[in-house]
């Protein structure tokens, strides 16, 4: 990878890690909400998915970063997010599921843009495609859960 493309790639990977960190915190916050017991398994899967993706993204970042210029991912101040603040006004299951679905949709767009617009080594592309597949599965689960809730409301 030439130098400017490598720098752009490192910045995009840093952003992707930040998105995964946000996912982790949002799923944790969703698990704390009342009445989410039936959704606990799916929320836990989302949380662990975010943790695993972060770990793999960190390895990619560490491989491509410049040791002189790029900070460690955990040291980046701009990554700190107050997930409790993001979800403080969201209480109902339908609202929480909608919020999670919208967030997963944004993360999917980020992945697709990264894969589409940058030349990526085959091994890195494979890892990112696996992440994309897993997040797509969670997005579909969230979509189905939301549709089931809507159907039960309209049928009643």
- Mean per-residue pLDDT for 68-96? 65
Tell whether the model's pLDDT for residue 67 goes beyond 80: no
Q: Are 105 and 74 in contact (CB under 8 A)?
A: no
Concatenated DSSP letters for the chain?
Answer: --HHHHHHHHHHHHHHHHHHHHHHHHHHHHHHSTT-GGGHHHHHHHHHHHHHHHHHHHHHHHHHS-TTTPPPGGG-GGG---HHHHTTT--SHHHHHHHHHHHHHHHHHHHHHHHHHS---HHHHHHHHHHHHHHHHHHHHHHHHHHHHHHHHHH-
For residue 55, the model assigns a pLDDT of 93
CATH homologous superfamily for the domain 3-155: Ferritin, core subunit, four-helix bundle (1.20.1260.10)
Percent with pLDDT over 70 in the chain: 78
pLDDT bucket at 85, cuts 50 / 70 / 90: low
Measured CA to CA, the distance from residue 139 to residue 135 in angstroms comes to 6
pLDDT bucket at 61, cuts 50 / 70 / 90: confident
For residue 54, the model assigns a pLDDT of 94
Tell whether the model's pLDDT for residue 20 goes beyond 50: yes
For residue 21, the model assigns a pLDDT of 92
Q: Are 47 and 24 in contact (CB under 8 A)?
A: yes
More confident residue, 120 or 73: 120
Q: Can you give the residue ranges of every domain in the chain?
A: 3-155
- Mean per-residue pLDDT for 58-82? 66
């Amino acid at each position: 990878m030439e130098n400017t493309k490598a720098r752009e790639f490192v910045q995009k990977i840093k952003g992707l890690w930040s998105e995964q960190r946000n996912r982790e915190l949002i799923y944790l916050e969703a698990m704390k909400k009342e009445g989410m017991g039936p959704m606990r398994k799916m929320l836990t899967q989302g949380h662990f998915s975010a943790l695993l993706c972060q770990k793999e993204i960190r390895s990619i970042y560490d491989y491509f970063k410049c040791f002189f210029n790029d900070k460690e991912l955990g040291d980046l101040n701009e990554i700190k997010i107050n997930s409790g603040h993001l979800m403080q006004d969201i209480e109902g299951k339908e609202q929480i599921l909608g919020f999670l679905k919208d967030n997963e949709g944004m993360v999917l767009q980020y992945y697709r843009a990264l894969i589409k617009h940058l030349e990526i080594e085959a091994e890195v592309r494979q890892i990112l495609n696996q992440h994309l597949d897993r997040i797509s599965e969670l997005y579909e689960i969230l979509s189905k859960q939301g549709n089931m809730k809507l159907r039960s409301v309209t049928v009643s």
